[in-house]
Structure 1
Amino acid sequence: MEDQKIITLDNPIKVGDIEVTSLTLREPTAGELERATLKDRPISVTLDLLAMVAGVPRSIVEKLPSRKLKEASQFISGFTEDGPSTGETQ
């Protein structure tokens, strides 16, 4: 399993003064998993966790195209047996 994954966006996402052209994901920490799962809703868990591990505001992650969200979600879910999902089936 990869320790890190870079997801390049086809179109930059801009929120306020922040413009993101790629997300660099890493393995989530136990604390991040705990904070992300407090809401206990799969899509919220995924969005919160992606924002934490990529180090970007959640508002950036909320604007990800669905294909990029699925790619990112699959990467982080590989670190946990019951990892968060986007609600999509493979």
Structure 2
Amino acid sequence: MSDTKTIQLRKALSYGKGDQAKTVDSITLREPTAGEYEKAENAAGVYGLQIALIALLSGVPVDVIDQMYTSQIDEAADFVGSFGKEAISGMKASADEFELVLRSPVKLTADESPLNVASLELSEPTNQQKRKASAAGGTFASSIALISIVSKVPKNAVRALTARDFMAACAYFNGFQLRRTANSDD
């Protein structure tokens, strides 16, 4: 899987006025971070999460992305969604505790700091932890909060996780739903 994807637009799109006018004939996307999912969720408004995330990742205004053909939006969304496919396809019941070794360690400072993380120590959340995390807002904001609370890692570090690492942590938490099936002995 490539870390970036450039999509050639079938119709060039323009925005801005006068000296600030720009025309784009392609957009380049990359793997999002957990924080970018959260930003897109907050900015979704009338355009929706998918359009907001594509705009954020490409650096092209959301109203310009909204003018793209739907097949090209789908192509962009498929690329962005590909970073979570491994976590979703490997869904299984979760163990009580789990160390998630990050594919891409987070290094937010040059110093030795809790903001720099190479792995997350995760465990089954308590109901209290889930309630506290859900107060953070939408789905992505709540997931970031839950990972932060359970792993005892600051939210800024969790927001810097790559999509693949973020989705793996989310899949671990979702695995507790699989574990508690009717024929389970847990």
Query: Which TM-score band (shorter chain)?
Result: 0.7 to 0.9
User: Which residue of structure 2 lines up, in the alignment, with residue 85 of structure 1?
Assistant: none
- The higher radius of gyration belongs to 2
Question: For 1:18 and 1:59, how far apart are their aligned partners in 2?
Answer: 13
1:72 is displaced (CA, Å) by 0.5
1:37 is displaced (CA, Å) by 2.3
1:19 is displaced (CA, Å) by 0.8
1:40 is displaced (CA, Å) by 7.4
**Alpha-carbon deviations, 1:14-59, whole Å to 9, x = none?**
1221211000000111110112224678x61101100011011111
User: Which residue of structure 1 lines up, in the alignment, with residue 10 of structure 2?
Assistant: 10
Q: Which has the higher helix share?
A: 2
1:14–1:77 distance in 2 versus 1, CA, 3 Å: same
User: Which residue of structure 2 lines up, in the alignment, with residue 87 of structure 1?
Assistant: none
Q: Which of 57, 75, 88 in structure 1 is aligned with 2:61?
A: 57
Give unmatched runs, 5+ long, in structure 1: 83-90
Q: How big is the alpha-carbon RMSD for the aligned residues of Structure 1 and Structure 2?
A: 2.0
Could you list the structure 1 runs, at least 4 aligned residues long, displaced by more than 3 angstroms after superposition.
38-41
TM-score under structure 1 normalisation? 0.79
Work out which structure has the larger RCO, using CA pairs closer than 8 Å and 6 or more positions apart in sequence: 1
User: Which residue of structure 2 lines up, in the alignment, with residue 25 of structure 1?
Assistant: 29
- Quick check: 2:40–2:49 contact (8 Å CA) kept in 1? yes
User: Which residue of structure 2 lines up, in the alignment, with residue 68 of structure 1?
Assistant: 72
- Letter of the 1:74 partner, please give it: D
TM-score under structure 2 normalisation? 0.40
Question: For 2:44 and 2:24, how far apart are their aligned partners in 1?
Answer: 27
Q: Which moves more between the two structures, 56-65 or 29-38?
A: 29-38
- Quick check: 2:3–2:31 contact (8 Å CA) kept in 1? yes
**Count of paired positions:** 81
**Alpha-carbon deviations, 1:56-85, whole Å to 9, x = none?**
111111011011011001000112257xxx
1:10 is displaced (CA, Å) by 1.3
- Letter of the 2:15 partner, please give it: V
Question: For 1:61 and 1:9, how far apart are their aligned partners in 2?
Answer: 10
Give unmatched runs, 5+ long, in structure 2: 89-186
SS at structure 1 position matched to 2:84: coil
